[in-house]
Structure 1
Amino acid sequence: MSFSRDRVRPQHGVYALGAFCLGLGLAHLVTEGEGIGTALEAFVICAIALLVVGTGYGLPNRPVSRSGKWRALRLAAAVAGSFALLALAVWLIWALEGDPSEFTFLLAFATSLGSAVGVRGGLHAVEADERLDEARDLTKLLTINQRVLRHNLRNELTVALGTLDRVERRDHGPETDDDVRTARTHLERLVETTDRTREIVSIWNTDRRETFRLRTLVEERAEAVGAAHPETLIATEFDGDPRVRSHPALPTAIEEGIRNAAEHTPSDAAVTVTLSTDRSGAAVVEIADTGAGIPQFDVDAVEGPTETPLVHTQGLGLWIIYWTVETAGGTFELLENEPTGTVVRIALPTVEGS
């Protein structure tokens, strides 16, 4: 029988931790006699255990990611273990002083209290950490859009409007045709920039996830780019066919990476797209070109905490890849190819059983 990670949820772990603490309370009641003091001690332990169970019941409604909830559970277990070790140390001190009593209560109480403090404190800590990360990402996203709207769009519109002004002031002829083509080129760039900016915002605003077979996806995107750039050979290499669960924009992100490589590769060279699985089990897509490489300010903008203050990234396609991979819990890297060119490396967690 295969173990399905999807069936075991973080709240199940919290329930198990609470049940363990509840068992400690009942064990204390059974082993330490029937006195009123023992009953009260057991009641305190069981009450704390029920607090842990109650936290698990409300866990699905907490604004914390699944991985964050697992992290909070690990923190709770670590705190519970630390409290238990502290209780053991206190009991050893008492034992050395000739009073080795109350061991079971001390251990059960400390473990239960540590579990309650750990699970609730851990959730608050993880939630605050994720909110901070979200705020940083949002700041980065707003900075990108602000700079794009202020710089890229304004420049493109200025060129287009200036060209059209010249068209209006003279008779039609060969020069007019050239100006019209120039205007059309810049306006098309403007439309493309607007579309890509909108795509980036939609990635941020969409929580929906889809399951993709990467081999099929890469093959389809490589064929699409190859049809648009027949002068460039696009070679594909596959090692397996992993499945990933990602943002619906993943096909666009993969195509952006391949298209960027095709546009920067000499006509007599090839773009190589490889699909493999690394040691951690993540699916890895590498897109390698032999062109001049991605400008350093584009690399700095994507890999830095915010866009650099003196330059702006021209490669909005890189941001589409970045945000798509980021929301899927993967990693995105820009590496140098040998002897020249760039390698776009995308690593995504795979769906179990793929």
Structure 2
Amino acid sequence: MVADRQATQRVLLVEDDPADAQLYQTMLQQLQADSLEAMTAPSVAVEHVETLEAALSTLHDDADGIDVVLLDLNLADSVAFSTLEAVLEVEANVAVVVLTGIDDGSLGLEAVERGAQDFLVKDHVTPRVLTRTVTYAIERKRRTLELERQRRELAVLNWLVRHEIRDDAAVVLGWIDELEPAGPTEERIVSRIAGAGDHIVELTESVGAMVQALEEPEPALESIHLETVLDEEITRLEERHDGISVDRESDHEASTVVCADRFLNVVVRNVLTNAVVHDDTDAPELSVRVRTVERSRDDLEKPSDERRADGEDDTVCLEIADTGPGIPATERRRVIEPNESGRQGGTGLGLYLVRTFVERYGGHLEIEANQPRGTVVRILLESAA
């Protein structure tokens, strides 16, 4: 169990030295008698056992009632990390603070790596240090459990989006291909249904990529050929949207291999799709430029009008300009935030997803006005050359 911040903290003290055990119980309850600390310090209830067997029995019978285990690793019936492993095997959801008589930081760090929330060297324990360590360990475990719960929920969401919803959309699109419209009105209806189905498929890919990003806080980057990604996504765009014109230009003398991952396709697709679906003209025109610029990593954090000096590292710049209605300067920062719809409605996911992945790649996203009309989205990525 993980205690509420205002509730009583139930501590299971596992210590085979009676003198040490009495000392820790006194320390934990000492602040309760201090009028200055009692206003903020939670009340503490301590249950003391001397062996691992007794500790495991207590956890087995009343795991939900214990908030933190103060655990001496060396007991009469167990020694070293096997003691910690046995406790965590019986109850993985309880916070554990390891007590060690050895003033060795590496031992304490290894205990944390094996699943403990913290460690204390017995000779350095004071009432305030002990109380705060217990409180922080409980809170740290609570947050860890919450993150694990969220990850499980994200995994379920990922499955539903990437499989169930996507499969149903594929069925709809498959049946649409079998339809033979009798006239212009029917053709228009079928076209709109097909467009909505395609959009559902694209959204499942975007949501799936976002869930994957949240599940993998440290991305494994690799060398990705940006030109290959552009070939695939521009072809996809032209197949799904009629009447668009894409003017493409690349710096063929420079390498356009960038540091990214398999979701770079989703990033480029979102920018290209946004440029088309938000265009209010009958024939959207896109300008796609890829070039290499020299900018340092620190230089990427400066405002665009200050990033003109030569940098240290080659950076690949992907620039996608459209001729749509544009984004007012006051909204350019908002449209890359979650839950912001941006121009002409929408889910607000696209550019936020783009920013999320670009920053995961160590890059930078810029949004500027196009001239005489439209928007320029500029993605700066580290070169892998």
In the superposition, the TM-score normalised over structure 2's length comes to 0.40
In the superposition, the TM-score normalised over structure 1's length comes to 0.43
Higher relative contact order (CA 8 A, sep 6+): 1
Higher helix fraction (1 or 2): 1
